[in-house]
Amino acid sequence: MTRAGRYRLLLATGGRPVQHGWWHEEKTGRRNFDTWAREYSSMPDPQVTLTDEETSETLAEWPEAD
């Protein structure tokens, strides 16, 4: 069994998690972040968040927080 990656991507709609993924490289997480934001933009109330699980830092979120 392989360990989950450091960079977590979460897709939520209406505040509920729908899909998630983990990657070992930030570059891969960011590429998938862009793809998910584009592909799931037509969902009701979509939210995509990329987090560094080691530092708990939010690296990107879409739509951007006010």
Interval 56-65 mean pLDDT: 92
Q: Which of 19, 13, 45 is nearest to 32 (CA)?
A: 19
21 burial level (CB within 10 Å; 0-12, 13-18, 19+): middle
Percent of the chain at pLDDT > 70 equals: 94
pTM: 0.88
pLDDT, tens digit (0-9, with 9 covering 90-100), for 28-45:
999 999 999 999 999 999
pLDDT at res. 3: 72
